[in-house]
Each structure stands twice: as C-alpha cells, then as structure tokens.
A and B are shown apart, each in its own frame.
Chain A
Amino acid sequence: MEEITLKTREIAYKDLSTGKVDRVIGFAKGDFIYESNPTFISDIDELDALVWDSFCVNNLSKYLINELKDVKKIGIFLKGCDSLGFNQLVQDNKVDSDNVLVYGVPCEGMVDPNKLKKDNLLKGLIDIKRSGEKILLITKQGDKELKAKEYEYDKCINCKHPNPVVYSELLGDYITRNNNVVDDFQEIKEIEAMNSEERFDYWSKQFSKCIRCYACRNICPVCSCDKCIFENYEPGISGKGKVDSEDQFFHIIRAYHVAGRCVDCGECSRVCPEGISIDKLNRKIIKDITEIYGEYDAGLNTSKSSVLVNYELEDFDPFESIKGGK
C-alpha cells in the first residue's frame, strides 16, 4: 500500500509539473485513520497529502463532470470498478476521455470500517496493511491479523473487476482474485421465486426505510443528468411527501433510469444509510437484459451503445399475443 502511495505522489508530481494535467483527483486522509476522502490537487506543494490505502473506496470518476468545467486536463486515480463508471461516463458523452489521464490502480478489495467497528477493532488503530487474503491491523495494543474476506465491503467480496479496464498508466501489478461464485444472480432468483404478495411485502419494507437522502443517486457514476427528475417538484412529477408511494416511485424510477447503463459497482448499496439493498433492483435489470438481449456489460466497451437506447428489428417481443399482426 505504501508503495502505491509513493507511486501516486510520484506520478502526480511528474504530470503536474510538466503540465500534462492541470489537476489531480485522488485520496487524502480524513480526520480518522479509517477515512480516505477525495481530494483535488492543482498545486505541487500539496501533493504530500495524496495516499492510497485500504479505505479508498469512493468512485472518483463522477467528479470529472464538474471538475472538467474548471480545468482542461485532469489526472485521476481509478480502481477496477471505478474505471467501468468512467467508461460509462465517456459513453454517455459526459466526459471527454481526451481530457482525462487515468492512473489505474489494481485493487485487492477495500476494508469496511463499519465491519471493523462491529468487532471493536477500530480502537487504537494506527495503520492497516493488506497482502492478498490477509489484512494486518497495526494498533497501539499490538498487531492483529485478520481474514480479508470477512472485513471487506459487501460489494468487494464478489468483485469481478479488480483491475482497471481502461488506464493510461497502471500503478502496481495485475491482481487475480478467485471468486467462488457459482451463480451471479442467486439473490435475485430467490426473490423471483416468491409470490407477488411476498415480493411486494419484501420491497415495501425495504423502500419504507428510505429517508430520501438521494445518496444513492449522488454517488452513482451513471446518474449524471444536470437536471434530475427527483428535483423537479412540479405537480405530478416528483413529490416531496414522505409517504410509501413516493418512496416506491423514487426507487423504481431510479433503477429504471440507470437500466442498461448500470455498471454494477454496488456503490448505491454501500452508501445507503438505511441499508436498503438497492443493487438488487439494478441487478434484476442486468439479469433481464442478459437473458433477453444477450450478454452486455455496461462500462466494459465504449464503442457498443447501451441496450435501451438501441433496438433491433428481430428483438424478442413478449407483448405480441397474435402472431402476424393485422
């Protein structure tokens, strides 16, 4: 980890001083050791703040939309899942990839401070080191070795893209993660197997927890509209009321708006303060798209246009009741 921290500083110094980039988006330590916050650096003197550790979980790619309005060229540190979001932003014409220098960082998986907190491991924490399947906690009381899988973010456990899919320069070596996932959509199938009453109960329980903070929308790399429907309070468009129907409206429409573009990075569920499993909605749509329109991984390929902005004459038609039309 320290190696990569040094590498990030080195490469940022090189490119900032030669004028290759005007600004660097990376991570800096926050108030606590388990906080790594996004930081925006244009000045070479501030580069010592850059770090890379096991808490750099945010997807930085969405900041590009706003930052590129200020400066021309930006260097950005992206992990595997972030790079998918970046690709999708490029595909949606939100970001011009010519103006961005991507420093890819292979990622072994990020550590969830909440899981550490649950087991009371944050006390006296000085540093955390990761090597493969093990994490080493260095605390005031002594060192402690833990199994990495137990303390990773939920979204990291079954990570499919530990290595960036797009980058100008790669920091560190390629990583292979062995996932023993038999079925990608196991959870979705479990819900599908319920009857409609049970499904509705399950989802209304989930949705009624929602406090409508819109964190899931704000973190989402593909929710990139300048004007959002959920901020349009014209009558009948988006209601402010805290009632179940408005919560359901928000979640169904949010999932539908990212349909075909969701890169399945799992950030929405991670940031949800109420623990709603939002990704299960997105993944249902991904499952349907895969089943009906063939394998399509949003964010992997920028040349192929997204499923719902495209069509084919011979598409599967579930609505045709009588074949032959007239």
Chain B
Amino acid sequence: MFLESKEEVIIEKEEFKPLIVAFCCNWCSYAGADLAGTSRQNYPANIRIIKVPCSCRVNPNFVLRAFQNGADGVVIAGCHPGDCHYSTGNYFTRRRLTIFTNLLDYIGIERERLKVDWISAAEANKFASVMNEVLEKVHKLGPNRKLRDVRWKR
C-alpha cells in the first residue's frame, strides 16, 4: 500500500505541466479573465496572467524573455480591433504581432506556442476556451527547449 502510493507520487512529478504566460490587456482580456473566475468557468491553473495596460504594450522582448525563462507557451490577449480603450492600440498590435509571429515561426518556434487573440471583457467563455486550447496544444508539443536560457532553473 505504502509502496504503491509512493510510486504514484513519482509518476505525478514526472508528468509535464506546461507553463503558460498570458499577457492580458487591462481593459478587456483581464476583465474577461476576472469574469471567467467569478462565473466559475474552468481554465487551467498553470496560466500566469500578467496585466498590461494595452496589448500594444507587449514588447516582443517580453515574449522572448518568457520563453527563455521557463514558459512553454505565451498568450497575448487584447480587445477586439476597434474596441481598444486607447482607440488605436490594438491596430498596431495586430500589425506588429503578425510580423513577429511569422518571424518566430521562421526561427523555428512552433506557431502553437505563441497565441494572439482578441478577448473582450464579456467573453469569459472565450477566455476559458482559448486558454484550454493553448494548454492542450502546448501539452501535445511537450516542454519547450528552444530559446531556453541555459542558466535558468525551474
């Protein structure tokens, strides 16, 4: 009995738990995450949300640093184009990240690891489903080894 339970613990430890970093815009996606919480939607606990004022605040440096320091996937979520609190912020995000996601894909980072989506404050369902979807895809891909900083330890 004792031995069995010990084995179980070891297996659990070895299981891959992806770490997802989500950059959420303060006005839409962060509120969407909040609503997902208050309306008791299920979304995985391995998602670390970082609040940013606007999705266009997300500098590509942040994405690279996240990958280097332990993230297996990165999500960037902002208001729907046209709904930006600062009127035009996410139009710039759209262009920049179109180029940047293509560039990362060209360098060899799987496209599934970097997800950009538009989630409004009312879309708790969408927030939960996007997070579940990303987690599932990243889980399938396995731990991210690319771009990883060798000095980094989990």
Contact = CB atoms under 8 A, between A and B. Distances in A.
Interface of A: 191-192, 196-204, 229, 236-237, 241, 243-246, 248-249, 252-253, 255-256, 259-260, 281, 284-285, 288-289, 292-293, 307-313, 315-322, 325-326
A266 to B, nearest CB: 18
A256 B103 contact: yes
Given A249-B68, A307-B95, A325 B118 contact: yes
Contact of B107 (A246, A248, A310): A248
Contacts of A255: 103
22 contacts: A191-B106, A196-B110, A199-B108, A243-B149, A252-B103, A256-B99, A259-B99, A281-B103, A285-B102, A285-B103, A289-B99, A308-B95, A311-B88, A311-B91, A311-B92, A313-B91, A317-B94, A319-B117, A319-B118, A320-B118, A325-B80, A325-B118
B98 A313 contact: no
Given A253-B64, A288-B98, 15 more contacts: A236-B65, A245-B149, A246-B149, A256-B60, A256-B100, A284-B103, A285-B103, A309-B92, A311-B92, A311-B95, A315-B91, A317-B81, A320-B118, A325-B83, A326-B120
A281 B88 CA distance: 28
Nearest to A320: B118
B60 A326 contact: no
A248 B147 contact: yes
Interface string B49-64: 0000000000011001
A200 B141 CA distance: 15
Contacts, number: 115
A316 B99 CA distance: 12
